[in-house]
Chains A and B, each alone.
Chain A
């Protein structure tokens, strides 16, 4: 028996939708300013890149404040039912005995992977600000050794490639017809309140 689930409540509030689309714009600009010069399209990418990096940092801090004060972390923490949900998905069978949840295991997995990538990129990117002159500070690359800078660049580059992979998959899954309600919920707020419908069969 399937647990009754209210299908058309508010899934994402305006403040969270603004964060999502703000993050989307900043990630696209950061990706474009990072990868286009590598592909041979030359322009002065550094000022745009670090400015949007700082903007993304502010957005992530805003998101963390909302998580701490409004949402809590419990909805996004993987639990035993999430492990079982993977088993059902791999076997192709209908899930049984799983609790309902706002986010299913795949959404939680994506969020965790994206969070690791973005936090790595922000931490290393903020350190890299020491290598450029701006209105607010003068460059001081001597805060780290060359070897440490190399490690920081490797982490930043690896995070960027991993986020590119996740970004492509995110867009693909968002555009699938069966996920249309989730995409629309991120646009106008209303949609399935639970991605994983509970069942006690």
Chain B
């Protein structure tokens, strides 16, 4: 999966145009994973007293 998007300019050279928006799910998934991990640790610590 490419993190960046490129195009070709008028001379055929590779040109950076921005990040690849196909990774838009990544911060959402990372935040979800962080929240789940936090909830698990929070629950375990509460049970431990």
Within 8 A of A (CB), among B1-49: 4, 9, 15-19, 21, 23-24, 26-28, 30-32, 34-35, 38, 45, 48
Flag if B28 contacts A164 (CB, 8 Å): yes
A150, B16: Cβ atoms closer than 8 Å: yes
Q: Does A38 sit within 8 A of B, measured CB to CB?
A: yes
A168/B27 in contact, CB under 8 A: yes
The answer to whether A147 and B19 have CB atoms under 8 Å apart is no
Question: Chain B's interface: helix, strand, loop or mixed, by majority?
Answer: helix
Contacting B24 at CB < 8 Å: which of A35, A158, A168, A169?
A35
CB atoms of A150 and B17 under 8 A apart: yes
CB pair A154 B18 closer than 8 Å: yes
Taking the complex as formed, is A112 at the interface, i.e. its CB lies under 8 A from any CB of chain B? no
On whether the beta carbons of A161 and B27 are closer than 8 Å, the reply is yes
Count of inter-chain pairs, beta carbons less than 8 A: 52
Residue from B16, B17, B21, B34 within 8 A of A38 (CB atoms): B21
The one of B15, B21, B27 in contact with A165, judged by C-beta atoms closer than 8 angstroms, is B27
Residues of A within 8 A of B15 (CB): 146-147, 150
Identify the B interface with A (CB < 8 A).
Answer: 4, 9, 15-19, 21, 23-24, 26-28, 30-32, 34-35, 38, 45, 48
Question: Residues of A with Cβ closer than 8 Å to B?
Answer: 35, 38-39, 92, 146-147, 150-151, 153-154, 156-158, 161-162, 164-165, 168-169, 172
